[in-house]
Structure 1
């Protein structure tokens, strides 16, 4: 990070290194917790004290391909297959201008410009699934299926994103009519198309305090609707418990 700061200073740009605390107690795992902390730091105030309006991220086409492959392996659904969006968020807007370029191209550009990029030491730790995908699985796929596999996976992300955006929009439009008196109407939810039910439940769970609910969490709550036989409630991260009472899904939050 220090080398990058020196290089930016030489270009008349300012660099800032921020230490963050990673809360591993919430969410699906340490990688997700680190990602939340990282994006929180990027959204925070800069050296001037003002929050940025635009943040440029360095993800490449290879990062996108790895994200799609991980989503496929985890069975996380079409939103995971959509990968990382080229543009998202507000205040600040997150933009990934290098998403169409291979990692080797960005490395070559840095070499041509005399820049020495900083390499995250986590990228050398095979304990993380993404590192194993990057160093073992992707090279194997390219060797067996051809060098176009990364671009094919990235293209899959673009196609999946269009479908996921449409379904998310339909779910968002239907959700307000299903929520009332602090709960989610189980009967009305069951009448929705299957492709929308999980999205509605996931959005509702986020609203009641569940951090990044997984597909397993969403599926367990959906079982209270689609396979209801008087079972007990579902315990979720953050101490949230969802129960079905009187035909309504209700969430009990922990008291502080």
Structure 2
């Protein structure tokens, strides 16, 4: 099977397995992955009766970025995408340029969806999945991170997680298209670039090849395990939760893996953001290692407390007012 046929088949199999909306959006950067994805989506759309729209995000981080974005939109229109539009964003915020650009890009893609609903296809490949798993492993991020990116995570769809970057480049060559080469993808200041250009090639050499597919398989296996545990944790959560609080007696009988998943779900639903493993383990100690200790302060100036066998979440006590106010 040619590379172009492999990409088209992957996109067809993905789109025919999901509940398709009338229109599918494709995030397009102009690189080989997103261009090959956009062409495949348009190819499948013509045969299955839905519309396609390309969303090109101009981050404005490089000179001439507006021209690059306009050219990317023009290329995918020539390849059969019905509509292509450019969305300029302002990249600001914490976490460095990579994180800020990613945040701005995903926000723009969400906002571009009609009525906030729909499906946006992303050009993440098997190689991206392997890098994600390695990053999670190196950072000690736990099984949820090692499980990698989900193929279907509405509104995001990733049909190419079984396709390599080499295949998307070959597909573009078959189409007679010269994709844009983002200079940031060669800049060693970025962690992913060094992982891609230094770490993975070394692992391929030491382990005699096949590292990226092996990491992707590991992600798929861990994703299955994680989803199974999350399903069980949801049942425990329903038994333990009452009036926004959790019954520690219910939680105490559960294995740590389920207990912490219940706590994570409860905290996220209660509005805690930027939750770390350290936060989660500290709250878990209120159940598993209870010795009458005080509460646990969490992001958002919230405190998890245990009282009379129940966990609750509260903000800081209001400041007492002075007389006359």
TM-score, scaled to structure 2 = 0.68
Structure 1 residue 37, shift from structure 2 partner: 4.2
1:145 to 207, 213, 219: 207
1:44 counterpart SS class: helix
Residues 164-207 of structure 1 show CA distances to partners (whole Å, capped at 9, x for unaligned) of 11111000111011111322222321211222011111111111
Residue 77 in 1 paired to residue 166 in 2? Answer: no
Q: Is 1:5 paired with 2:73?
A: yes
Does structure 1 conserve the Cα–Cα contact (< 8 Å) formed by 2:236 and 2:251?
no
Q: For residues 23 and 176 of structure 1, what CA distance do their matches in structure 2 show?
A: 39
Give the Cα separation in 2 of the matches to 1:233 and 1:21: 39
Higher relative contact order (CA 8 A, sep 6+): 1
- CA apart distance, 1:253: 4.0
Aligned to 1:211: 273
Distance (Å, rounded) in 1 between the aligned partners of 2:202 and 2:138: 15
Rounded to whole Å, the distance in 2 between the matches of 1:128 and 1:248 is: 45
1:197 has 2:259 as partner: yes
1:146: how far off?
A: 1.9
Q: 1:127 to 1:221 in 2, by over 3 A?
A: farther
Q: Does 1:110 align with 2:172?
A: yes
Structure 1: gaps (5+ residues): none
Question: Quick one: distance in 2 between partners of 1:52 and 1:120?
Answer: 30
Judged with a 3 Å threshold, the aligned counterparts in structure 2 of structure 1 residues 60 and 52 are, in CA distance, closer, same or farther, namely same
Structure 2 partner of 1:233:
295
Change (3 A) 1:247 1:83: same
1:1-256 correspondence runs (5 A): 1-13=69-81, 14-20=83-89, 24=93, 29=95, 35-46=102-113, 50-51=115-116, 53-89=118-154, 92=155, 94-119=156-181, 122-253=184-315
- In structure 2, runs of 5+ residues without a counterpart are 1-68, 318-325
Deviation of 1:158 (Å): 1.2
- The change in CA–CA distance for 1:229 and 1:22 in structure 2 (over 3 A counts) is farther
8 Å CA contact 1:61–1:100 kept in 2: the answer is: yes
Assess if the C-alpha contact under 8 Å between 1:57 and 1:96 holds in 2.
yes
SS at match of 2:291: coil
Distance in 1 between the 2:122 and 2:279 partners?
Answer: 30
Instruction: Give 1:35 shift.
Output: 4.2
Change (3 A) 1:250 1:140: same
Shift of 1:18: 2.4
Aligned-residue RMSD, C-alpha: 2.6
For 1:211-250, what per-residue CA distance to the aligned partner results, in whole angstroms no more than 9, with x for missing partners?
2422222112112222222333222223222222222222
